[in-house]
A = this chain, B = another copy of it.
Amino acid sequence: MKDMFSKAISCLAGGLLLATITMAQPRPTPAQLAWQRAELGVVFHYDLHVFDGKKYTQGGNRITPVPDYNIFHPASLDTDQWLQAAKDAGARFAILTVTHETGFALYQSDVNPFCLKAVKWRDGKGDIVADFVASCRKFGIAPGLYIGIRWNAFMGVHDFKVQGDSSRFRSARQAYYNRMCQGMVKELCTRYGPLFEIWFDGGASDPADGAPDVLPVVEKHQPGALFYWNGQRSDARWGGSETGTVGYPCWSSFPYPSMLTARYPRIAENKFELAKHGDKEGKYWLPAMADAPLRGYNGRHEWFWEPGDEHSIYPLADLLAMYEQSVGRNATLILGVTPDTAGLVPEADARCLREFGNAVKERYAHPVTNVQGAGRTLEAAIRPARHINQVMISEDISAGERILSFVVEVKTTGGWRQVYSGTAIGNKHIASFPAVNARAVRLRVTEARGEPNITVFQTYFIQQ
């Protein structure tokens, strides 16, 4: 009783404190909210070197232009097939690498000559961004674009910097390059309708450091897009690895407004622990992205298609574990998918995505219990008693992350006992525990900032 009393007091105190705390508590913008609720996306990596028959080396491609850009000739390109694969995986958004480190742009740019205008493919009239976006709309998947400006092997740009011995020479070309990047961003933000996310590869640095000034362009023309990221703004953060997982807890709040490691070297410390976990006390809302290439298994880690890499497609079990450790930890999972030289997602990859999507759908289609509501406690009876071993919880994050700690308790023949305790919930939390025969299950929020609004509290029995 004493415990319960003191808890009630602390709850009351928490409630009194609430008005002050929530003023400072970070919350998502509509774009962030949509991105977090989307939970799963795919990113299609496509670039010249897919066609060169060589093993992709990121470091090399950054500094060595592809000798003949007319190797780019995806004779059977079909973005509908790409998006069908994304849809099958359960992705709610899809991203295309418009430019990556070669500098080659997959559309009809009027500011970057090194684009699909330059090649013989489709008589120089191809526009893969247009195709991609049209297919996204057709399949009801939100389109996003990934723009690489940090490296450009063709233009000789290395880590945002135009190379040059004479300062006048260098500064004139840097200004040109920056204008070119801004121009591409404008084209991409104005030609293809609303975009879900605009992803700058490795960030877009900061105009204060001499980098292209891209933020005003996005803010003007795509105010609804998730902006990821530059030194001025970062609507999401990298989750600290390319394994498709984040740590636990993984708070959406973060102590810095941007990922810019040059200014905030702490982010890289301790193997990116801060990126993996976020910061419960952080003043900024930067939800985590967990990204991984689908071909990241078996000693490989490849964002681009390469011959003979089918063995590196993650097995289904690994993908399901990845899902639990990303989406199930309040991160948005983005899987890298690799269209091949024909211009298609290879059948093996498409099959894997389909199986993954079906497995997730199937796994969470039949909850043992399913309740929701505001407040600190939610309980669901199970009659007759059944085994459960997994819980899925979501809170309404539109007002921020309110739940700071919680327990899951199960009523067995021996009474209530705790089977799981956690901290962050956020958009979604999935947790497993040893199977237990339950007559009821309850969620008790043990610490919160304000009244929690639990939109999902479901339990499952997952066959392992």
Q: How far is the CA of A64 from the CA of B111 in the complex (A)?
A: 15
User: A28 → chain B, closest Cβ, in Å?
Assistant: 38
| B172 with A65: CB separation less than 8 A | yes
A120 at interface by CB-CB < 8 Å: yes
**Residues of chain B contacted by A158 (CB below 8 angstroms):** 164-166, 169
Contact among B64, B65, B179 with A67 in the assembled complex (CB-CB below 8 Å):
B179
A69 at interface by CB-CB < 8 Å: yes
**Residues of chain B contacted by A68 (CB below 8 angstroms):** 111
Q: How far is the CA of A23 from the CA of B23 in the complex (A)?
A: 98
**Residues of chain B contacted by A428 (CB below 8 angstroms):** none
Q: How far is the CA of A164 from the CA of B65 in the complex (A)?
A: 14
| B63 with A166: CB separation less than 8 A | yes
| B153 with A163: CB separation less than 8 A | no
Q: How far is the CA of A258 from the CA of B253 in the complex (A)?
A: 69
User: A308 → chain B, closest Cβ, in Å?
Assistant: 26
Contact among B110, B155, B156, B172 with A64 in the assembled complex (CB-CB below 8 Å):
B172
**Residues of chain B contacted by A154 (CB below 8 angstroms):** 176
Q: How far is the CA of A155 from the CA of B169 in the complex (A)?
A: 11
**Residues of chain B contacted by A120 (CB below 8 angstroms):** 110
A162 at interface by CB-CB < 8 Å: yes
The contact string, 1 if C-beta is below 8 Å from chain B, for chain A 224-267, is: 00000000000000000000000000000000000000000000
**Residues of chain B contacted by A382 (CB below 8 angstroms):** none
Interface size in chain A (residues, C-beta < 8 A)? 33
Interface of A: prevailing SS = loop
In chain A, positions 105-119 with a C-beta closer than 8 Å to chain B are 110-111, 113-115, 117-118
A375 at interface by CB-CB < 8 Å: no
User: A451 → chain B, closest Cβ, in Å?
Assistant: 56
A124 at interface by CB-CB < 8 Å: yes
In chain A, positions 38-86 with a C-beta closer than 8 Å to chain B are 63-65, 67-70
Contact among B70, B118, B163 with A156 in the assembled complex (CB-CB below 8 Å):
B163
Q: How far is the CA of A154 from the CA of B176 in the complex (A)?
A: 9
**What is the chain B residue whose CB lies nearest that of A123?**
B125
**What is the chain B residue whose CB lies nearest that of A162?**
B156
Q: How many copies does the complex hold?
A: 2
**What is the chain B residue whose CB lies nearest that of A113?**
B118
A186 at interface by CB-CB < 8 Å: no
**What is the chain B residue whose CB lies nearest that of A161?**
B165
Known: A63-B168, A156-B156, A156-B163. A113 touches B113 (CB 8 A): yes
Most B-side CB within 10 Å, residue of A118, A158, A170: A118
A301 at interface by CB-CB < 8 Å: no
**What is the chain B residue whose CB lies nearest that of A120?**
B110
User: A200 → chain B, closest Cβ, in Å?
Assistant: 21
Q: How far is the CA of A176 from the CA of B114 in the complex (A)?
A: 14
**Residues of chain B contacted by A166 (CB below 8 angstroms):** 63, 158
Q: How far is the CA of A337 from the CA of B156 in the complex (A)?
A: 34
**Residues of chain B contacted by A70 (CB below 8 angstroms):** 110
| B113 with A63: CB separation less than 8 A | no
| B156 with A164: CB separation less than 8 A | yes
Q: How far is the CA of A156 from the CA of B113 in the complex (A)?
A: 15
In chain A, positions 285-300 with a C-beta closer than 8 Å to chain B are none
A280 at interface by CB-CB < 8 Å: no
User: A256 → chain B, closest Cβ, in Å?
Assistant: 29
In chain A, positions 165-182 with a C-beta closer than 8 Å to chain B are 165-166, 168-170, 172-173, 176, 179
**What is the chain B residue whose CB lies nearest that of A169?**
B63
**What is the chain B residue whose CB lies nearest that of A69?**
B113
User: A191 → chain B, closest Cβ, in Å?
Assistant: 14
Known: A113-B118, A117-B117. A170 touches B163 (CB 8 A): yes
Known: A156-B163, A165-B163. A176 touches B113 (CB 8 A): no
Q: How far is the CA of A110 from the CA of B155 in the complex (A)?
A: 17
Q: How far is the CA of A203 from the CA of B162 in the complex (A)?
A: 26
Q: How far is the CA of A111 from the CA of B156 in the complex (A)?
A: 16
Q: A67-B176, A156-B156 given. 9 additional CB < 8 A pairs?
A: A63-B173, A65-B173, A110-B120, A113-B117, A117-B124, A118-B118, A155-B155, A156-B173, A164-B164
Q: Which A residues form the contact surface with B (CB < 8 A)?
A: 63-65, 67-70, 110-111, 113-115, 117-118, 120, 124, 153-156, 158, 162-166, 168-170, 172-173, 176, 179
13 contacts between A and B (CB under 8 A): A63-B172, A63-B173, A65-B176, A67-B179, A69-B113, A113-B113, A114-B114, A117-B117, A153-B173, A154-B176, A158-B164, A163-B163, A163-B165
